[in-house]
Amino acid sequence: MRRCLGGEKCISTYAMADGDSLDGLGTLLRRLVFALDGDVQAIYDEHGLAFRPRYFPIVRALIAVDGLTVSQLATRIGISQPAVTQTLAEMRRDGLVSVDRATDRRARAVRLTQEGHGMARRLEPIWRAIGIAATQLDGELSAPLGIVLREALERLRAMPFRDRVRGRLEP
Residues 146-164: tens digit of each pLDDT: 999 999 999 999 999 999 9
**Residue 102 exposed, middle or buried by CB count within 10 Å (0-12, 13-18, 19+):** middle
- Per CATH, the number for 49-140 is 1.10.10.10
User: pLDDT exceeding 90 applies to what percent of the chain?
Assistant: 77
How far apart CA 2 and CA 143 sit, in angstroms, is: 14
C-alpha distance from residue 62 to each of 54, 57, 67, 84, 130 (Å)? 14, 9, 7, 13, 20
- The crossing angle, in degrees rounded to 10, of helices 56-64 and 70-77 is 110
Average pLDDT, stretch 129-144?
95
Gap between the Cα atoms of 157 and 80, Å rounded: 15
What pTM value is reported for the model? Answer: 0.80
Give dist(CA 40, CA 49) in Å, integer.
11
For 41-72, how does the pLDDT look when each residue is reduced to its tens digit (9 = 90+)?
Answer: 999 999 999 999 999 999 999 999 999 999 99
Q: What's the pLDDT at 107?
A: 77
Q: Tell whether the model's pLDDT for residue 93 goes beyond 60.
A: yes
What pLDDT score was predicted for residue 3?
45
- Domain-wise residue ranges, the chain: 1-46, 49-140, 142-171
Contact (Cβ atoms closer than 8 angstroms) between residue 37 and residue 51: no
